[in-house]
Amino acid sequence: MLGSLVDRLAPLFPNWGSSPALSFLLMVVFGVVGYTVSRYAVRLFGRPVAKRFRRQSVAQQVLRLIRATITLFFLLLAAGLVGLELGNIVLSVTVFSAVIGIVLAPLVGSVVNGLFLLADEPYEIGDMVELPDETRGFIDDITIRYTKIFTVDNTFLVVPNDVIRQDKVTNLSAEDERTRLRLSVEVTYESEVAEARSLIESAARKVDGVIEGGPDIRIGSARYPARPTCYIDEFHDDGVILTLRYWVDRPYKLLTARSRVQTAIWEQLEEQDVDVEIAYPHRHMVFDDTSGEARIATREAPERESVDSAAVRDEDVSDVGADDDTDDAAAEDADGEDADDAGAADDGDDGDR
């Protein structure tokens, strides 16, 4: 079909293949025409394809395939008009692919994983997902090479399909958007535990977005109560840990819902005159004769050490001065004794005369 169409159009372009510039210009013109025709074809077949395929991502891939096929058809038609044979093109592409096959290996891996994602249907465009690094966002687009996520921080995240297929991705809105959250509250052993459980459940039911009650929610073969339920979770060192489990109707503002529930519990405990106290750690430090000795350093220690050093230096100077005075006094006493001895000797000599 393509060959007969080229034979019919060849007389209209008799000398285009003789010049490389004209050949290139013809390829560009046919490429632009093919791209324009493909866009109109996508608009024409877009609605029927969307009705035919239930998943939006698959429908988009089919429309992309239609656009690529039409554009490639026009390029091959232009190649035939300028004298390029299909066998030479295939041979060139084969050699080129063999040379850069190692370079394109990651891209090929992403494409293959993209096909698996489209077949497995782990998530769909519009679903809210959570990545292993706790990044949350909405699936904006799924291609055969990458998945585009519009995060709740108003940023785009483009993840290759080979990476996202190997990671643990949590779909928060796959079939049922209702999501269960939990909150732990620790009360003292002296508190009224039963009353505390009742107050916590009552406070959670009053929060907007929290499911107050109704039929049990079925997950697999198990059923869980839809109303907020508080359980005794653990007997801890400082008190009793109560765990509240509650359901929210939308998974899009989980932190907001959690904060509202905590605020409601706090206000409920403050308003009600009940013997319920939030536990906090208590530590008793006991020192006795068997505890040994401890050296305590304070901020004033460096100043005290400097003062003590100065005092020691002054004492040393005073001791040195006192020693000098003592030596001088001893020397004067010695000189005085020598003078007395000399005087006595002179008097003895005069008496003899």
- Rounded Cα distance, 137 and 152, in Å: 5
pLDDT, position 77: 73
Domains detected in the chain: 2-99 (no CATH), 120-171 (2.30.30.60), 179-271 (3.30.70.100)
Total residue length of the chain: 353
pLDDT, position 287: 72
If one counts every other C-beta atom within 10 angstroms of the C-beta of residue 246, the result is 27
What amino acid is encoded at 139 in this protein?
I
pLDDT, position 277: 87
The dihedrals phi and psi of 320, each to the nearest 5 degrees, come to -65, -40
- Rounded Cα distance, 280 and 244, in Å: 19
The dihedrals phi and psi of 105, each to the nearest 5 degrees, come to -60, -45
pLDDT, position 240: 93
Task: Give the DSSP H/E element, type plus range, for residue 147.
Answer: strand 146-151
pLDDT, position 202: 92
pLDDT, position 110: 73
Q: Give every residue of the chain whose pLDDT is below 50, as ranges.
A: 2, 17, 307, 312, 317, 320, 322, 326, 329-331, 334, 336-353
Question: Model-level pTM greater than 0.75?
Answer: no
pLDDT tens, position by position, 237-247:
889 999 999 99
| Pick from 148, 164, 167: nearest CA to 156 | 148
